[in-house]
Amino acid sequence: MASQPERNLIQSLESAVVVMYLGKSSKDKRDVYYRLAKEQGWRARSAFKLMQVDEEFSLLEGVTKAVDLCAAPGSWSQVLSKRLVENKKEGQEAKIVAVDLQAMAPLPGVIQLQGDITKQSTADQIISYFDGEKADIVVCDGAPDVTGLHDMDEYIQAQLLLAALNITTHVLRPGGSFVAKIFRGKDITLLYTQLKIFFPNVTCSKPRSSRNSSIEAFIVCQDYTPPKDYVPNMGTPLLDLPPMDEQGRSNRTIVPFIACGDLCGFDSDMTYALPVAGEGYKLLKPVQGPITAPYLSAIQKKRKGFFNEQVSKKIGQ
């Protein structure tokens, strides 16, 4: 019979596998936006973030060509697809190009490109889909795998946003808009300054569906106006500004901050009671499960007794 430490080890290994099953029934089922996303057919709750930002700024009004960077699993592409189809007039064609390093399940009306947003070839391929024209809007909901070290996470996210901005300078038409996720930190004002070089109107927004406990926000850049004689170049870093200029003046810029969405509506930080009246709570499957999810290999390992073998080896030591 296994001792208590051995039983604890077995239980912890089994729990690690169970956590990977939680796409269908997890504590997130109490998150109202998580539930609404399933009920309305969105692939992720992040769809509400773009809708609430658009509600505040009317970014998708009249848009017929859009680029979605770091698109997987595709919730923002779903929102773009719905709105752009509504916008197109007779004889017009709505085009959406979704780009991500990961494979993404197909979406009707969305051109999918599996590529790296830091490469020139990716920018050229996006432009080719628009037949030489440019996009009306570029959106990016991408974020790195957070480490929990806030300074490092904020820096990596800022570099990802600059990579998205760099490719945006290749594919966005003058007067277009750019929306991207940011992590607000102590040096975020330097990032605002870099964006102000290309966009006269820059606003930091916080959708209602984004948790207050999260440092994420969304930068809304409007009226794309590149500097005179600026030539986009993917081969060099984009405007890595120091905190002070040559004259000793601060390079930091403060931009407006706006809360988006109905402030009397659902609160993403609250835990709402499940609708269990009568028949009980009905579990909904994810709208689109991941194509190559890590938990699928974990399930196979469990079925083949991999974790039991690891426990035996640990006990043998």
- Which residues fall in the annotated binding site? 74, 76, 100, 116, 141
- Which amino acid, residue 144? P
Q: Which is nearest to 298 in space by CA: 56, 17, 36?
A: 17
Are the C-beta atoms of 111 and 68 separated by less than 8 Å? no
Strands, DSSP E only, in 163-239?
172-183, 201-207, 216-222
Q: What string of DSSP letters covers 81-127?
A: HHHHHHHPPTT---EEEEEESS-----TT-EEEE--TTSHHHHHHHH
CB atoms within 10 A of CB 117: 23
Among 38, 49, 95, 181, the one annotated catalytic: 181
Q: Which is nearest to 274 in space by CA: 19, 42, 35, 47?
A: 35
Q: Which is nearest to 9 in space by CA: 300, 316, 301, 314?
A: 314
Pairing between β-strand 257-260 and β-strand 201-207 as defined by DSSP bridges: parallel
Q: Return the bridge partners of 100, or none.
A: 114
Strand, helix or coil at 69? strand
Task: Give the whole-angstrom CA distance, residue 190 versus residue 240.
Answer: 9
Strand, helix or coil at 207? strand
Q: Return the bridge partners of 259, or none.
A: 206
- Determine if the peptide bond prior to 256 is cis (ω within 30°): no
> Locate tokens 């590149």: which residue?
226
Told to judge if 304 belongs to the known catalytic residues of this protein, a careful annotator would answer: no
Q: Return the HEC string of 128-140.
A: HHCCCCCEEEEEE
> What are the binding residues for S-adenosyl-L-methionine?
74, 76, 100, 116, 141
Which sequence positions are flagged as catalytic?
A: 181
